[in-house]
């Protein structure tokens, strides 16, 4: 078990590591040749030009202004200067609200830490329970553990202080959560009302379109919405399965990169032509001219792409029973997205379309009816992953200790017993071992979420974040506590009667705080400092810049600004909320380490959001209900943990008063969701109508059809050298010119000819309201349509 000296050594090592990372960052960020690595967001916005293209050669590479080296921490106050409204305009609401999670942590834990240190630490420390236990039953403890609730004797009246503080901490946390929920909901509604025109505001995704032997999916969709949304339907884009085509295009791009690399290599040394082996990964096989080989491969792939493109656009089997349907107004889209379209609730399913850059196109090809089976499979797989992962984690934790190393490598015992080495192992090794063990987990969970069939990157990240959080609770929190209690108190378990074991566990669980302190310093101090250094993007950029870059466009593509990574970052923050709330009443000494994490991470990620990250999507802070729910979960776990701990302390008079806390907390959660959650899942019709009215008065002749027509075309058809976009645009124009879709169904022959939006190149005020005579649908028409549909 780590002692106070071990914690001090671990803190010194992590502070030294963080200082080295920050110093390296301060030097590297001001070098002109690293400008695109540490300020890519400004380049992508076109507000910064390359510093390495002007001036003397040395100045284009190295910063010779020595005064700038003395201000190596000036980036911290600079990161705090930008006000929140300007930050929202600069980086989006998602990024601004993500930063509020760190601020919420500070708002919650600073007052809690003040109260805990002022009241609970003296109450815990002025006892000698652990000293007596060490003498009587070999229970291990350190000086830090004497500041915890474990040092309070059984049946003590001092437990009333912990119960009162538990109520105070709960009420304060709930108050902060309520205020933040109100604030973020208000920010979201204001953002949605003030943001500019976006295609997803007018578009819904329709899934599970019923098959029809007489009509194509496109014709069926058009007929359905002309009949059921005659005043507001504008245009639609059917979903096609272009996954194979996208794979071929990606493969061609990879080959092109290799061709550029070998061409640059040959240009630098014309006397020697580059060669490559044709076998697996270029490790064996016949040696051939690398440039000619990749040119022939690219030519072959171009032919395959052309063939696959024609197949996707002309083969009916490539068309999925889904479509992006766009409307003339936000109000029309809101009504369609938030209502049931058919008497059969499993057909014509509508939801808000993600913004175009948020769409995860591969999953649009998954049949809707297979989603339930896929999610059941992943649910079972996640269950086994979570619980079987506990075995290797417990083993690693056991080995990353003095006893574990001495058992597996007894010849190292003389070295391990050296005081400094022992402190490093106990105060540093367990935390770094756990962090390294979890390094591949987010990737595994993201793959599982993709298999489930979610249609947007934001929903994939939120699903992956939920699973990651559950995993952290079970394996990192509960697993570490239970494994720690079992291993550290093994001798005590063996040599005492069975009815004494629960009491020993009650004493041992708070003692695991020392492990979590080391983990916080490794992950939350040195780890956050490593985030700002961006070592991996730095190396990759310079490799690409040297081997692949020929033009300014290539140099832009070589930049890797990354994004917030909600699926990895938010669950990690929630683990700190969990640790802080659980140990606030149990071992308050942990709270200052958590406060340092929240403060340091807030500054670092604010800097990254302003200068580096280029967010992949904008969801309007739709993730906040998940954030709120996970903090509530942590609060309930902390209350149950304290209740269980009190039961081992024989506090029969005071423990029942804790039962009300989880009940009140769950009621509070339901109240908050009932009051504010709808703002994150629904779009008010009042807001939609207001925005439409304002837009009609300011943009009388805006061409909505041309604006929305290509918004949801698969990215593989946009740009490139295979003329896909041009071909598809011509096809769409041809399709949209038909005023009435031909049909062989008698019920649809009787459908009145409704003037299409495509008949006018621009939308005027008259176009926004369709003529009454052409829109009169009799009850017989509607009955005939619904009979045909069912």
- In which residue are the tokens 């780590």 written? 2
pLDDT at 738: 42
**Type and span of the H or E element at 319:** strand 319-327
Q: Which letter does DSSP use for residue 754 in this model?
A: P
Structure-model confidence comparison of residues 423 and 109, the more confident one: 109
Q: Is the model's pLDDT at 683 over the cut of 50?
A: yes
Q: Report whether 203 contacts 330 (CB < 8 A).
A: no
Q: Report whether 329 contacts 692 (CB < 8 A).
A: yes
Q: What would the pLDDT profile of 205-246 be if each residue is shown by its tens digit?
A: 999 999 888 888 999 999 999 999 999 999 999 998 888 888
Q: What would the pLDDT profile of 729-755 be if each residue is shown by its tens digit?
A: 444 444 444 444 455 554 443 344 443
Q: Which residues pair with 289 in a beta bridge?
A: 275
Closest alpha carbon to 446 in 425, 422, 429, 462: 462
Instruction: Give the residue-averaged pLDDT of 774-783.
Output: 43
Instruction: Give the residue-averaged pLDDT of 192-208.
Output: 90
pLDDT, averaged across the chain: 80
| Cα–Cα dist 65/69, whole Å | 8
- In which residue are the tokens 């990651």 written? 468
Q: Is the model's pLDDT at 150 over the cut of 90?
A: no
**Type and span of the H or E element at 625:** helix 624-648
pLDDT band at 172, cuts 50/70/90? very high
Q: In 269-329, which ranges are continuous DSSP H helix?
A: 290-314
Q: Is the model's pLDDT at 465 over the cut of 90?
A: yes
pLDDT band at 17, cuts 50/70/90? confident
| Cα–Cα dist 462/481, whole Å | 27
Could you give the C-alpha distances from 519 to 213, 269, 513, 524, in angstroms and in order?
Answer: 62, 51, 10, 8
Asked which of 290-294, 311-315, 610-614, 652-656 is least confident by mean pLDDT, the reply is 652-656
| Cα–Cα dist 565/572, whole Å | 11
pLDDT at 404: 60
Q: What would the pLDDT profile of 618-658 be if each residue is shown by its tens digit?
A: 999 999 999 999 999 999 999 988 888 887 777 767 777 88
Work out the number of other CB atoms within 10 angstroms of the CB of residue 64.
11
| Cα–Cα dist 382/374, whole Å | 12
Q: What would the pLDDT profile of 118-127 be if each residue is shown by its tens digit?
A: 999 898 888 7
3-state class (DSSP) for residue 704: helix
Q: What would the pLDDT profile of 331-353 be if each residue is shown by its tens digit?
A: 999 999 999 999 999 899 999 99
Q: What would the pLDDT profile of 491-540 be if each residue is shown by its tens digit?
A: 554 555 555 544 444 455 676 777 888 888 888 888 888 888 888 888 88
pLDDT at 165: 93
**Ranges 156-160, 414-418, 447-451, 488-492, most confident:** 447-451
């Amino acid at each position: 078990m780590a002692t106070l000296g071990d914690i001090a050594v671990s803190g010194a090592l992590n502070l030294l590591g963080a200082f080295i990372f920050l110093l390296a960052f301060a030097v590297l960020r001001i070098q002109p040749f690293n400008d695109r690595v540490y300020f890519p967001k400004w380049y992508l916005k076109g507000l910064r030009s390359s510093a390495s293209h002007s001036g003397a050669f040395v100045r284009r590479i190295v910063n010779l202004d020595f005064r700038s080296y003395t201000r190596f921490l000036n980036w911290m106050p600079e990161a705090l200067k930008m006000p929140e409204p300007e930050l929202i305009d600069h980086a989006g609401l998602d990024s601004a609200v993500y930063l509020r999670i760190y601020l919420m942590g500070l708002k919650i834990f600073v007052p809690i830490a003040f109260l805990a240190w002022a009241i609970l630490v003296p109450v815990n420390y002025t006892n000698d329970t652990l000293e007596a236990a060490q003498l009587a039953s070999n229970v291990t403890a350190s000086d830090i553990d004497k500041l915890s609730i474990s040092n309070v004797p059984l049946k003590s009246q001092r437990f009333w202080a912990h119960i009162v503080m538990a109520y105070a901490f709960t009420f304060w946390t709930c108050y902060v959560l309520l205020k933040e929920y109100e604030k973020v909901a208000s920010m979201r509604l204001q953002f949605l009302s003030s943001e500019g025109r976006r295609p997803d505001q007018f578009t819904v995704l329709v899934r599970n379109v019923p098959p029809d032997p007489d009509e194509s999916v496109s014709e069926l969709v058009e007929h359905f919405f002309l009949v059921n949304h005659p005043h507001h339907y504008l245009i639609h884009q059917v979903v096609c399965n272009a996954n194979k085509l996208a794979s071929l295009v990606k493969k061609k791009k990879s080959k092109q990169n290799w061709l550029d690399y070998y061409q640059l290599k040959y240009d630098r040394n014309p006397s020697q032509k580059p060669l490559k082996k044709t076998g697996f990964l270029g490790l064996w096989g016949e040696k051939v001219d690398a440039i000619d080989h990749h040119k022939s491969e690219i030519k072959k792939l171009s032919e395959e792409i052309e063939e696959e493109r024609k197949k996707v656009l002309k083969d009916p089997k490539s068309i999925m029973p889904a479509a992006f349907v766009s409307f003339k107004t936000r109000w029309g889209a809101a009504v369609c997205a938030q209502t049931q379209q058919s008497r059969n609730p499993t057909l014509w399913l509508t939801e808000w379309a993600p913004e175009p850059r948020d769409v995860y196109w591969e999953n649009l090809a998954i049949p809707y009816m297979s989603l339930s089976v896929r999610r059941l499979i992943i649910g079972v797989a996640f269950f086994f992953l979570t619980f079987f992962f506990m075995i290797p984690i417990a083993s690693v934790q056991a080995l990353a200790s003095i006893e574990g190393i001495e058992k597996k490598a007894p010849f190292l015992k003389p070295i391990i017993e050296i005081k400094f080495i022992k402190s490093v192992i106990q105060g540093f090794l367990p935390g770094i071992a756990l962090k390294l063990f979890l390094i591949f987990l987010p990737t595994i969970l993201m793959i599982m979420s993709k298999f489930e069939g979610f249609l947007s990157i934001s929903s994939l990240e939120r699903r992956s974040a939920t699973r990651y959080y559950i995993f952290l609770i079970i394996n990192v929190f509960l697993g570490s506590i239970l494994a720690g209690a079992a291993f550290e108190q093994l001798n005590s378990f063996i040599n005492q009667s069975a009815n004494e074991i629960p009491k020993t566990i009650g004493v041992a669980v708070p003692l695991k705080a020392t492990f979590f302190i080391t983990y916080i310093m490794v992950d939350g101090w040195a780890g956050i400092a490593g985030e700002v250094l961006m070592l991996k993007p730095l190396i990759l950029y310079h490799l690409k810049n040297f081997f692949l870059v020929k033009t300014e466009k290539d140099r832009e593509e070589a930049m890797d600004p990354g994004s917030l990574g909600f699926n990895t970052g938010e669950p990690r923050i929630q683990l700190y909320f969990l640790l802080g709330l659980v140990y606030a009443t149990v071992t308050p000494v942990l709270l200052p380490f958590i406060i340092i994490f929240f403060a340091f991470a807030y500054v670092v990620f604010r800097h990254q959001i302003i200068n580096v990250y280029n967010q992949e999507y904008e969801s309007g802070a739709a993730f906040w209900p998940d954030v709120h729910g996970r903090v509530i979960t942590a609060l309930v776990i902390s209350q149950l943990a304290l209740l269980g701990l009190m039961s081992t302390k024989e506090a029969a008079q005071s423990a029942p008063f804790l039962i009300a806390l989880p009940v009140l907390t769950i009621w509070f959660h339901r109240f908050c969701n009932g009051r504010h959650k709808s703002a994150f899942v629904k779009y008010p019709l009042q807001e939609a109508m207001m925005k439409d009215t304002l837009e009609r008065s300011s943009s009388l002749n805006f061409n909505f059809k041309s604006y929305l027509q290509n918004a949801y075309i698969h990215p593989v058809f946009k740009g490139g050298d295979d003329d896909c976009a041009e071909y598809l645009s011509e096809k769409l124009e041809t399709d949209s010119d038909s005023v009435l879709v031909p049909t062989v169904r008698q019920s649809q022959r009787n459908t009145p000819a409704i003037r299409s939006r495509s008949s006018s190149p621009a939308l005027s005020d008259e176009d926004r309201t369709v003529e009454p005579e052409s829109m009169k649908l009799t009850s017989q028409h509607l009955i005939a349509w619904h009979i045909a549909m069912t």
